Amino acid sequence: MDVIENLSSGEYEPIICIDMHTCGEPTRIIVKGHPELTGTLLEQRSEAKAKFDHIRRRLMLEPRGHFDMYGAILRQETEMTRAGQADIGVLFTTNNGYSTMCGHATIALGRFLVDTHDLAVFSNRTRLRFDPEKKMTYLKLHAPCGLLNVTVPTTEDGTKSDPTRPVSFVSVDCFATGLDISIELPESPLWPSGFSIVADFSYGGAFFCLVDVRQLPFLKNSGLSNFDMDAAHLFTRALKKTVNADAGNSYLFRHPKENDLSFLYSVVLVDKSLGQPLPGSLGAEAGLLFFGDQQVDRSPTGSGVSARLAIAYARNTLKSGDSWTYHSLVSLKTSIQAAFLGTVLEAVAPEAPVQYPRIRTRVEGHASYTGYHTFIVEKDDLLGNAGFTMQGFAR
């Protein structure tokens, strides 16, 4: 029997994935083969972690993935799809777990969910709303952090996405949780004893800690234009560990409603001296973002853009209607079109007294297809479900 016929015989419980990238950051979309999950979307997230985490490890880590792979598990049924509030749900996967929000993956999913007409993959595809005048299709995506309104540019008849125009999404409520928070770090060869930094904390569907690179001895002379990635990795890891170790910091990443969303997701190094503005924006800046188990985002990070907009709004440096350009290392070195455009849409009335205002944001960027896979695990594969990273062996 031919090798291809052998692999497709059904013996191996295949998982089918579509691979895309958004401004350089991958999204592996699991379209068929993931075990069924039940309950609310957050309950499905918990079930995936407890019972089926080997699937995440199999697809995110080596030998089928890599340390910086990112994934999305489509969920046809959630409490919001059953109520008619959402068209489809999604769970996001990283190298060490399940994130609560992902902007780059949302942009990629927007294109894919418009392009697919397979009702077994997207049962509510025919329910999407199409505007023939604007040539836009509108999608309501239920993420673990809440409902995202996604706008996808399309062809004349709305049957396919138009990759020449950016996909955008409107965020959940975003808000700063702490400005100018002083944090003292344990001594390191990279900085002296008693070294402290000042950081901002904010929520954009996940919680972020943002640090201006001009404070850092190993970055202040060159910023993100020329720096030591290993040093940046050691610093962000030490900062995240220090913040998490102090229970007094927990208010900085405490979600007002859901405990499952209450954790520090990412540390962002911000360089406000770099980047060219996209048309229609007031300015630009660059960022280097570490998330999960020190994954490095190749894109400017959609949820991070929302969090940064919330900080700018809290500081009164941006107001409703203002847009700003956010660059990654990739967009700085390749094309300005690989940057994200972030816009403060409007202030949102909070449900309870809060220190900083809440806003909704719009983030837009470009996504492209890179391929598709049918992943299998042979019954005698000694590493079938383990998954590994070389970084893990080195620690």
- Decide: 136 and 152 in contact? Cβ < 8 Å: yes
SS (HEC) of 17-38: EEEEEECCEEEEEEEECCCCCC
Residue 21 to residues 214, 266, 297, 302, 360: CA-CA distances in angstroms? 30, 20, 11, 13, 25
Neighbours of 30 (CB within 10 A): 21
Facing residues of 343 across strands? 323, 362
Residue 217 to residues 196, 231, 237, 282, 360: CA-CA distances in angstroms? 11, 10, 16, 29, 35
The b-or-e profile of 242-251 (16+ CB within 10 A means b, else e) is ebeeeeebee
CA distance 395 to 26: 25
Judging by DSSP bridges, how do beta strands 196-203 and 207-212 pair with one another?
Answer: antiparallel
Task: Report the catalytic residues.
Answer: 102
CA distance 76 to 80: 10
Longest dimension (CA), the chain: 68
Residues 6 or more apart in contact with residue 218 via CB below 8 angstroms? 190, 191, 227, 228, 231, 232, 235
Residues 6 or more apart in contact with residue 191 via CB below 8 angstroms? 185, 216, 217, 218, 235
How many residues are recorded in the chain? 395
In degrees and rounded to multiples of 5, residue 390 shows phi and psi of -65, -30
Q: Can you say how many angstroms the Cα of residue 119 is from the centroid of all Cα atoms in its chain?
A: 26
Angle between helices 302-314 and 103-115 (to 10 degrees): 130
